[in-house]
Amino acid sequence: QLYAVERARADGDVGESVPGALYRALSAGPAALGHVAGYAFRVDSLAGDADSVVIQLTSDDWFDVVGVHPVAGTVWPSAAAGDAPPFGAVISDRLWHRRFGAAHDAIGRSLSIGVRALTVTGILPPGFSGISLEYPVDVWVPLGLEPQFDGTSHLDDGGLNWIKVVTRVRGTDRVEAAGSAGSVLL
């Protein structure tokens, strides 16, 4: 039921990522795609830690679409239209153990990534490190925080392919319409 949405390019290649503007259009429409969610990766460091972490910038509905939820705490609250995204972070069980010693008071504590301080809002189930085999994720943050990490926003950029898109398609007709091999081509 979970499909990657890929973009067919003019040269015949298939791209795994889409521009922010296209992601926004997909998340607002067509119902045949089902419920779509977007995400992107970055690598950064935690303050006071020599090891780098994989961070996933994630749309508010990504956890619902993927079907995984925190075992402790919650996903950050959705930002109202026009509001700044919340500075919340959902962390992996692995990072919870490594960074916080599996302390029960980790929810609400600060986690500094680069120069940005985030509040831990949730801890994901043991063994879950995202849906990408290439990038085991340690920290999930709202996609709207992308300008805080990159210094500028690419969410409205129509040319930079940087957001991966997934959709949960239910029902036999929709699955056949979505395509085979676990991906939907645009």
Q: Which residue has 């949960």 as its token pair?
A: 168
Amino acid (1-letter code) at residue 23: Y
Q: Which residue has 């680069």 as its token pair?
A: 114
Q: What secondary structure, in 3-state letters, does 54-104 show? A: EEEEECCCHHHHHCCCCCEECCCCCCCCCCCCCCEEEECHHHHHHHHCCCC
Q: Is the pTM of this model over 0.75?
A: yes
pLDDT digits (tens, 9 = 90+) for 55-72: 999 998 899 999 999 999
pLDDT digits (tens, 9 = 90+) for 114-158: 778 899 999 999 999 999 988 899 999 999 888 887 777 887 777
Res. 174: pLDDT tops 80: no
